[in-house]
Amino acid sequence: MTIHIGAAPGQIAETVLLPGDPYRARWAAETFLDDVELVNEVRGMLGFTGTWKGNRVTIHGTGMGMPSLSIYVNEMIRDYGAKTLIRIGSCGGMQHSVKVRDIILGMTATTLSTPSRGIFKEMNFAPCADYSLLAAAHRAATARDVAVHAGGIYSADVFYDERPDLNEQMTRHGILGVEMEAAELYNLAARHGCRALAVLTVSDHLLTHEALPSEDREKTFGDMVEIALEAAFA
């Protein structure tokens, strides 16, 4: 047990899927895992461990934003021995070639600031995904005939953004989509010698202003979860 995770030793698997929403964690665990056990509900942040094709997996919420994710990922790695961490979440599309419902695999994550900024000081560290996970996820998406894009993403540190010029520069420089957690996940994975990847569903679009209807979200997010699971155990 840690300050924020109530799981006993051994209840968190080495492979962890990380949605921001704890209720999405419950949905994904109940939908895709067998022998599911609730292992955390401290502060309402739900975590579940079960098996997928015989492999142990934990699906645990992280909350919104990099500071919240940093708390849970630090404890999972340091206290529970997590080795492979895959963010599964939604993002906003930032290129016309990227459509709502597409999958984005975050190769790199650009950001203004992360909780790790104090460590790097004047250095602009470039956080990136684990290549083996990235390649396996791309193969899995292609095999499922899901539209997939691999490239740079933007991890924003605010949701209600009042700097439209930043979004314009991200689009200008080829960033595929915007979300709020991956950059710090990649920082922590690099620091602790773990594997990390962000597998993201485009739920809305900053250029076209299209948004995914709520009734379509479950199936589309289901593709994302299965791609992440297949990549983790490829």
Which residues carry out catalysis? 204
CA 70 to CA 115: how far, in whole Å? 7
Binding positions: 4, 20, 24, 43, 87-90, 179-181, 203-204
Binding-site residues for a purine D-ribonucleoside, in ranges, read 4, 179-181, 203-204
25 membership: H or E segment, kind and range:
helix 22-32
Backbone angles phi, psi at 72, to 5 degrees: -70, -40
Query: Distance between CA atoms of 89 and 140, rounded to whole angstroms?
Result: 17
Torsion of CA 169, 173, 178, 183, to 10 degrees: -110
Indicate the length of the chain as a whole number.
234
